[in-house]
């Protein structure tokens, strides 16, 4: 595996001539930094791909949006200039609006429940068909825990505590509406600008999981971390369908097996340990961690879920109902 930390020229695809010839190259573009839990996961993923393909596929990890953000990475998959990326489910809504369904607040009770439902046969059939139409494939699913609110003003216990706070959210209409319903003033901002935004007061807060907060040292500029758990959005690892189709059958099998094993390792080993450790790190940094009246937030955001069902496209509503059915 090669760690790529600077911009490199990308010209076309490097493909295997045979399983014993030149190695295929998987350029793995990610937005997170080269240190932290997600970076540990990227290294493990690269290791497994190389192991299961017997070294026939070489993984190059491009950290910290070196090859661009989520939009550029997905376009790279579609064009075949980037082979793999990892991103939030909601980012795919740029190509298909059914993925906005996963933006709904309090859709899941836990990250593991989300993984179990998404991985079910009925749900996967819908998602795989949609990804295929957009030139992508999902080969792994990562629980990234619950997204909670970090802020510089006060502890959040109930929706009224968010009044007057500007909270950074991912650029997605459902997420924006959710933060508004919770009482905050949503602001869309690039993740790379959030540290300075908190430090300079451009924003009062943001929302993300504990390990992501720690990986980006946000606990050093935030004063309160409230466990609101409003969004649980697993991140898939996506690969380019055109690149995958040009691999040998043995390489294809190896890449799929690597993704399956990585899903297990991440969700059963890497993430649970990281989440517990990150909460300790946040508290040790002097950032107060508190539980919230979660029922009040669920009630406050009911209108967002109702509006989605009332006004969503037939495909969105169909997926939402399917998720609720499988969730049971």
Domains of the chain (ranges plus CATH)?
Answer: 2-144+234-276 (3.40.190.170), 147-232+278-327 (3.40.190.170)
- pLDDT, tens digit, for every residue of 85-97? 999 888 898 899 9
* pLDDT at res. 171: 81
Among candidate residues 301, 109, 143, 213, the one with its CA nearest the CA of residue 205: 213
Residue 18 confidence (pLDDT):
37
Three-state helix/strand/coil letters over 211-227: HHHHHCCHHHCCCEEEE
| Edge-to-edge strands, sheet with 224-231 | 185-188, 166-169, 205-208, 147-151, 224-231, 288-290
User: What local confidence, expressed as pLDDT, does residue 90 receive?
Assistant: 85
Let me know if 142 is exposed, middle or buried by CB neighbors in 10 A (0-12, 13-18, 19+). Answer: buried
Q: DSSP string covering 18-38, please?
A: STTSSPEEEEEE-SS-SSSHH
Strands 24-29 and 57-62: parallel
State pLDDT tens for residues 271-284.
999 999 999 999 99
Query: Low-confidence residues of the chain, pLDDT below 50?
Result: 5-21
Q: Give residue 2's pLDDT.
A: 56
Helix axes 111-118, 314-327, angle to 10 degrees: 110
Neighbours of 293 (CB within 10 A): 14
Tokens of 22: 């030149």
Residue 92 is given by DSSP the state G
| SS3 label, residue 33 | coil
């Amino acid at each position: 595996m090669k760690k790529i930390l600077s911009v490199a020229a990308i010209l076309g695809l490097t493909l295997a001539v045979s399983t014993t010839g030149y190695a295929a190259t998987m350029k793995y573009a990610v937005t997170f930094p080269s240190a932290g839990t997600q970076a540990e996961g990227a290294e493990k993923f690269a290791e497994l791909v190389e192991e299961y393909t017997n070294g026939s596929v070489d993984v190059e990890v491009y950290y910290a949006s070196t090859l661009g953000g989520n939009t550029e990475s997905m376009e790279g998959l579609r064009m075949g200039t980037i082979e793999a990326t990892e991103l939030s489910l909601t980012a795919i809504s740029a190509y298909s609006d059914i993925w906005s369904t996963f933006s709904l607040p309090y859709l899941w009770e836990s990250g593991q429940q989300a993984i179990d439902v998404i991985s079910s046969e009925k749900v996967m059939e819908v998602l795989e068909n949609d990804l295929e139409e957009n030139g992508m494939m999902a080969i792994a699913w990562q629980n990234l825990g619950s997204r909670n609110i970090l802020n510089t003003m006060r502890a959040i216990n109930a929706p009224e505590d968010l009044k007057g706070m500007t909270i950074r959210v991912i650029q997605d209409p459902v997420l924006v509406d959710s933060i508004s319903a919770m009482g905050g003033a949503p602001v869309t901002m690039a993740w790379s600008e959030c540290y300075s935004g908190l430090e300079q007061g451009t924003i009062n807060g943001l929302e993300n999981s504990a390990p992501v907060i720690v990986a980006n040292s946000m606990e050093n500029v935030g004063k309160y971390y409230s466990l609101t758990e409003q969004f649980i959005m697993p991140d898939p690892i996506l690969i380019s369908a055109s690149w995958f189709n040009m691999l040998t059958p043995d390489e294809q099998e190896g890449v799929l097996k690597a993704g399956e094993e990585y899903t297990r390792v991440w969700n059963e080993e890497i993430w649970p340990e990281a989440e517990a450790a990150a909460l300790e790190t946040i508290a040790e940094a002097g950032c107060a961690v508190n539980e919230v009246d979660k029922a009040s937030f669920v009630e406050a955001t009911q209108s967002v879920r109702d509006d989605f069902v009332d006004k969503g496209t037939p495909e969105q509503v169909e997926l939402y109902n399917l998720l609720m059915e499988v969730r049971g």
